[in-house]
Amino acid sequence: MRFADFPFLRYLPFVLIGVFWGNSNGAPDLMVLSIILILFWLVYLILVSKQEKGRMVFQPSYLAYMALIFFGALLALFKQQQTDVSKEILYSQSYLAEVVAYDQQKPNSFENLLEVKSIFADGAWKDAQGKVLIYHQNEQGLKPGHVLMVSKSPEQIAAPLNPYEFDYRQYLARQGIFFRQFIGKDFQVVDSTAGVGFEYFLVNLRHDIGEMLKTKIPDENAAQIALALLLGQKKELDPTIREAYTQAGVMHILAVSGLHVGIIYALFILILKPLKLKKEKARLYLLFVIFIIWLYAFLTGLSPSVVRAATMFSLLTFGQMRERRPSIYNILAFSAILMITINPDVIYEVGFQLSYLAVLGIVMIQPLILNLWLPRHKILEYIWQLTTVSLAAQLVTFPLSIYYFHVFPTYFLIGNLLILPLAFVIMQVGVPLMIFGWIPVLGDALGWALSWLIWTQNWVAEAIRLIPGGKLDRLTIGFSGMVLVWGILLIVASWEFGSKRKLAWLALTLIFLWSTFQLYSELHSPSRELFVYQGKKSQLFDFSNSGEIYSWNQGLEAGEISYSVDPNRVQKHWSQTPKSLLVHELDSGKLDFIVADFSFDPKHKRLQFLKAPKSIYSWSDGEWVMMPAQNTLEVDSVAYRILF
């Protein structure tokens, strides 16, 4: 097995480097980058033509790799330019926009999404583009295709105020949404004609199927799971059910992913052999399978994992039509390059990262685990294969899961062994229900069967949740730790193919570098530091003094602490319930903190230090930014970190 045999796997790293470069501050202008890229390809073509004539003077592959880097940077810059163009919506007096989704019920309003078509600014209408997340209170509801006139400009979604807080702005930006607005009833429906075209056809079809599932499935909780499992609609999931599936380690089955596409693919491929079709008819049938896969992908919203799986199974099917078996590594890399070309920001999505890591784990690690035991009975072999797939996927993805979510499901293996087979059966019933649910008797029967199957699956997930120690939470891992785990796994996977001496030295090097990084971080950890967190109306202080953690809360509620404060405490390995920071209230109304060298004026939101701190940082756009050290500090805008 040679690395040169996987061309797309060789191309992918260079495209990724280009995207990271394009998103950095050091990338050149879009026009300059385009000209350089064209020149690179012209020189490359000239060198290739000379190579064919036997007059090669330079290896053209290096130019091709450089061109891929510039191509990735161009994709990233083009995406940024689209974002910059849409910002003109902020300066409009009013705008016309088209509704692109169905209403989502919220506690006091309805949520929907608008696609801006034109804006009114400086006394004239002009074309514009951009997406606005709106909240309205129109009881009649909005439907895809409706055109609205909104008389006020939207607001830009604010960045998180506190360190490591969930970045809702970035989450929406990955979907191309940069603005939101509460419009209440202050808008006018200019055109109520239903939207036309393939996109609106899919939106309406998804909505109709969802409504049909709700009517055909008698159990309400089962209907919620069906919407999530079959259509990827998780917004209506009950929090208790969501927690049960999370602790069982099978939350991935409720997010439409490669697993679901694989089940649909297997369903149609298994039918092929009994049909005994001739060669030409078999090819037509396989083309039909590809169409079904992509129809399902579009129907469920084209999530990264679904697109990856649909691309992979399409390429495998094309290979089957040509009686060839393409490399799984090439297919993975090609699908990643395709998705990055369409949307370069997809590489930052957790679903994209977890999806590709899981497949890589199954391809590289699962055969090694599988060979550790060879069961004699078919049932044991099936259970062992399912176990090895779960172990391989979990081994590779757990560092990233801990990095993002700080939770590890203890009983993931039990959950996968019990719930995944049920999910497979549910899909076998659910897909026919989606297709034939409108037939009265058949639809009712399939709905009842699906409801019973999902009730059983929910019962299993809830039973696992009730087992003590169902999850390990508040876990952390740094980037160096993830690199160490993945490096060791790669070494294990390559042990039989590479030089064992070199691989052993590589493992020792990784461990040494990780240990050095950990020691450096520990030595440079400050002995005394203060964090000031911002709530909606007040502040909370966390003060670290030689390993002892103290806290003072001005009025943040438990939910707000969990959302805004706890993420930083997890990153710092601090307790969820630190000691109280003792305070003495002075006659002036100022608060004097006894174990710390500062006081606080709640009225003017001002910190006063006995002496200037070593350094002060403010939280801005996902990182700490150094500020001038001073004796006083206004703390009414964002989070601050003060080192003494």
The pair phi, psi for residue 338, each rounded to 5°, is: -60, -45
Strands 177-184, 124-136: pairing kind: parallel
Q: For residue 53, is pLDDT > 70?
A: no
Q: Are residues 339 and 381 in the same domain?
A: yes
Per-residue b/e over 35-49, b at no fewer than 16 CB within 10 Å? ebbeebeeebeebee
pLDDT digits (tens, 9 = 90+) for 357-404: 988 899 889 999 998 888 888 888 888 998 999 999 999 999 999 999
In the predicted model, is pLDDT for residue 52 greater than 60?
no
Q: Read off the tokens for 482.
A: 């993830």
Its domain, for residue 169, covers 92-195
Give the tens place of pLDDT for each residue, 218-240.
Answer: 888 889 888 888 888 877 778 88
Please determine, for residue 613, whether its predicted confidence score (pLDDT) is greater than 60.
yes
> 516 and 451: one domain?
no
341 and 424 in a single domain? The answer is: yes
Q: What is the rounded CA–CA span in Å between residue 208 and residue 201?
A: 10
Average pLDDT of the chain is 85
Instruction: Supply the pLDDT for residue 455.
Output: 93
Q: Is pLDDT at 446 greater than 90 in this prediction?
A: yes
Residue 86 clears pLDDT 80, i.e. is over it: no
Q: What is the pLDDT of residue 136?
A: 92
User: How many whole angstroms separate alpha carbon 50 and alpha carbon 318?
Assistant: 34
Query: Does one domain contain both 556 and 533?
Result: yes
Residues 289 and 270 in one domain: yes
* Residue 232 backbone zone (phi > 0: left; psi -120 to 50: alpha; other: beta): left
Residue 135: name the closest of 107, 102, 111 by CA: 111
Q: Could you tell me if 452 and 225 are in contact, meaning their C-beta atoms sit under 8 angstroms apart?
A: no
Backbone angles phi, psi at 583, to 5 degrees: -135, 145
What confidence score (pLDDT) does residue 453 get? 93
Q: How many domains does the chain have?
A: 5
Same domain, 209 and 312: yes
**CATH code assigned at 173:** 2.40.50
The predicted structure's pLDDT at residue 397: 93
The residue out of 55, 86, 117 marking a domain boundary is: 86
pLDDT above 80: residue 4: no
Domain's final residue, options 56, 86, 116: 86
CA torsion angle 239 240 242 244 (round to 10): 160
Cα–Cα dist 244/460, whole Å: 9
Contact assessment for residue 308 and residue 355, using Cβ atoms and an 8 Å cutoff:
yes
Q: Between 259 and 615, whose confidence is greater? A: 615
Mind listing the pLDDT tens digit for each residue in 449-483?
Answer: 999 999 999 999 989 888 888 888 889 998 999 99
- Burial of 296: CB neighbours in 10 Å, binned 0-12, 13-18, 19+: buried
- Reported as a pLDDT band with limits 50, 70 and 90, residue 84 is low
Give the model's pLDDT for residue 6: 72
Has residue 587 got a pLDDT over 80? Answer: no
Are 124 and 80 in a shared domain?
no
pLDDT (tens digit per residue) in 120-148 = 888 888 888 889 999 999 888 898 989 99
For 262, other C-beta atoms within 10 Å of its C-beta total 16
- Residue 392 has a pLDDT of 92
Do 77 and 99 belong to one domain?
no
pLDDT of 55 higher than 60 = no
Residue 375 has a pLDDT of 87
Range picked from 19-23, 260-264, 333-337, 448-452 for highest mean pLDDT? 448-452
The model's confidence at residue 2, banded by pLDDT at 50, 70 and 90, is: low
Residue 282 makes CB contacts below 8 A (sequence gap 6+) with 272
Whether 31 has a pLDDT exceeding 70, the answer reads: yes
pTM value is 0.85
The verdict on 240 and 364 lying in the same domain is yes
83 — pLDDT class (breaks 50, 70, 90): low
Asked if residue 368 and residue 316 are part of one domain, the reply reads: yes
Boundary of a domain, candidates 195, 227, 259: 195
Beta strands in 453-565 (DSSP E): 471-473, 528-534, 539-545, 548-553
pLDDT bracket for residue 56 (50, 70, 90): low
Backbone torsions φ then ψ of 553, nearest 5 degrees: -115, 125
Residues 207 and 314 grouped into a single domain: yes
452 and 315 in a common domain: yes
